[in-house]
Structure 1
Amino acid sequence: MSDPALLARHDAVLLDLDGTVYHGARPIPSAAESIARVRELGTPVRFVTNNASKSPGAVAAHLRGLGVAAEAAEVSTSAQAAARLLRERIAPGAAVLVVGTEALAAEVEAAGLRPVRQASDDVAAVVQGHSPDTAWADLAEACLRIRAGAVWVACNADATLPTERGQLPGNGAMVAALRAATGREPDVAGKPRAPLFRTAAESAGARAPLVVGDRLDTDIEGAAAAGLAALAVLTGVGTPAALLAAEPAQRPRYLAADLSALTGKSGELEIGPRPGWRVRADGPELTATSDGARDAVDLLRTLCAAAWRHGTTRVRPGDDHAGAALAELGLA
């Protein structure tokens, strides 16, 4: 039986952004061309981001500025997912206290709810998303309504926000402040929870979409929470060592170096034994040997299957080819 194309198994591609399509202001090599090829093959694309501070139009404009074709309708944000959660939990037209940007307030309004900025007895819910302008006064207003029993939805719980200056406080840091002040837990809409991926899949009319991302703790775990298959790429923060040690909820079905794999064969990308590589368990470690193979990512696919099965991440080379591949993967 022939190996089907990856896109023959999946009716949409749900792409993470930072670390998968770009690094801040720099496009990742081959990303734009790979996404264009997916479109040419007729597979819908959605750009899925935990960022609730920008509108879909602004995200699409940023992508176009990096050479990636994108329209606002193809962008799914955690603000949209949060607004949908609110619509499911409170009455139409109800007041929602917004802690976040005007882009978040616009999504609340688009969901048929009434965004406000000050606490009052008629506020039915609080929605919280990242904004660099959030101050103590904003948290104080939210605290009052959350303590009074209002529904509390957080766009995401990311503790940090990657910037060109380094990691800075993210929405999760502000959520933690309100958690400490109220003793409550919010409903989270973004990764690694399922609502954001479900919103993206529905917008594409997809029943079996493929989630693609670099972070195991957000992209891959979120895909698992939504019951979707995931492809992990090695262009961002995810590392070979992290993949070997991944908990069951953070294990992708597929693995690739970058987005160029999207037009490849599904069987070649699945984690599992690969031709030319042999991995055996020797007590507390794995020994990798080559039968003439050189592809380091193929070795990693083989190693992941063995590490997950045997519960060990210690690897040693059994020959020079394996040693070179392990060094390339940072596993030497």
Structure 2
Amino acid sequence: MTAGAPAASRLRDRYDVLLLDLDGTVYAGADAIPGARDALVVDGGPRLFYVTNNASRSPADVAGHLNVLGFPATEFEVVTSSQSAARLLAQQIPAGSAVLVVGTDALAHEVELVGLNPVRSYDDAPVAVVQGHSPDTGWRILAEATLAIRAGAYWVASNVDSTLPTERGLCLGNGSMVAALRTATGRAPDVAGKPARPLMDDAVRRSGAERPLVIGDRIDTDIAGANDAGLDSLLVLSGVSTPADLLVAAPSDRPTYLAHTLAALEKAPEALRIAPHRDVSAQVDGATLWIEAGDDVDESVVLRAALAAAWEANGIADVRGRGPVASAVADRLSGPRD
């Protein structure tokens, strides 16, 4: 638990700021995640700050999208990896330097705001490359970036998410485009977004949070970033990461709390921790996890207890359930991984 956090009957009451991921947590593409607005827009709740690895839109555009979906948000309350990437650039290269932008005009604008000169061609002698998600990224701009990076340009990636949740499902993310440049150049970028520290540090600093809770849908970015920054986290199973991912998650990728949806903010904090439960038997026999629970036990309770046993044992290769609810959870833990 975050130092100094008070006892609370509801999870939302334990924290002063919610640092919310967007894609897969608050919305998927153009559509809000079902129930997200009702869970977040409550009287007297913690302040909401939106922290996104997606560098394709400006903070003002993101806030506008959130407003249309019914979420309260101002430009100030949106913290993007493009802003953190621009800050990293400004710390490493002289003011006025040319920066080759692989990404949207919104990313280029953030580069301008820190006193640097965004360009789109290697012929403009860039001393740095910044790369963020854009649905229009193609071979030509990647080729320009390849030339610059191979010539020694400093390289910053807004994020390295391999996939991006959309209303149609998971599509390739900025990390997949970064991987192409890594292959072409033999270099690796500095990373601004989660799980790297710059974006999370910027969000905490801007919000003035004393007891922040990080909420997201990816264990390898949102949760890993929270753990690296020493912050509590809630993983919601509305986006990328699955129970099967959690089964084999490294300690650095394990959340403080787990829930299917943001409605869990109304529940008691201790009920959301991944821990043994008196109504669930989760026993390890060799490399097999056996789960048993009554038909009246909620699947979420069974899932948390099963994960607690798996994490304690390590090396689980198979999951079996006795009874309908336990079998359903075992199937989810054995299912596809991201």
Smaller-chain TM-score bracket: 0.7 to 0.9
1:1-332 matches, within 5 Å, as 5-37=10-42, 40-119=43-122, 123-164=126-167, 167-290=170-293, 294-311=297-314, 312=316, 314-318=318-322, 320=323, 323-327=324-328, 330-331=331-332
**1:155-186 Cα deviation digits (max 9, x unpaired):** 12233444455554432233223222322111
Q: Which amino acid aligns with 1:62?
A: H
**2:3 corresponds to:** none
Per the TM alignment, residue 189 of structure 1 is displaced from its structure 2 partner at its CA by: 1.2
Q: Which amino acid aligns with 1:101?
A: T
Instruction: From the superposition, tell whether residues 301 and 88 of structure 1 become closer, same or farther in structure 2 (CA, over 3 Å).
Output: same
CA distance in 2, matches of 1:326, 1:172: 35
8 A Cα contact 2:234 2:259, kept in partner: yes
8 A Cα contact 1:240 1:329, kept in partner: no
8 A Cα contact 2:8 2:14, kept in partner: no
CA distance in 2, matches of 1:286, 1:144: 51
CA distance in 1, matches of 2:242, 2:173: 22
TM-score, length of structure 1 as denominator length: 0.88
Instruction: From the superposition, tell whether residues 291 and 136 of structure 1 become closer, same or farther in structure 2 (CA, over 3 Å).
Output: closer
Per the TM alignment, residue 292 of structure 1 is displaced from its structure 2 partner at its CA by: 8.1
8 A Cα contact 2:23 2:164, kept in partner: no
Q: Which amino acid aligns with 1:183?
A: G
Q: Which amino acid aligns with 2:81?
A: S
TM-score, length of structure 2 as denominator length: 0.86
Count of residues in Structure 1 that have an aligned counterpart in Structure 2: 327
8 A Cα contact 2:31 2:167, kept in partner: no
8 A Cα contact 1:201 1:209, kept in partner: yes
CA distance in 2, matches of 1:244, 1:317: 15
- In structure 2, the gaps of 5 or more residues are 1-5
Sequence identity (%): 53
CA distance in 1, matches of 2:214, 2:300: 19
8 A Cα contact 1:307 1:313, kept in partner: no
- In structure 1, the gaps of 5 or more residues are none
**1:52-81 Cα deviation digits (max 9, x unpaired):** 111111112222222222222211111111
8 A Cα contact 1:31 1:260, kept in partner: yes
SS in 2 for 1:48: strand
Instruction: From the superposition, tell whether residues 123 and 30 of structure 1 become closer, same or farther in structure 2 (CA, over 3 Å).
Output: same
Instruction: From the superposition, tell whether residues 2 and 67 of structure 1 become closer, same or farther in structure 2 (CA, over 3 Å).
Output: closer
8 A Cα contact 1:146 1:182, kept in partner: yes
CA distance in 2, matches of 1:165, 1:235: 14
CA distance in 1, matches of 2:13, 2:205: 19
**1:205-234 Cα deviation digits (max 9, x unpaired):** 124421111222222222223332211112
RMSD: 2.6
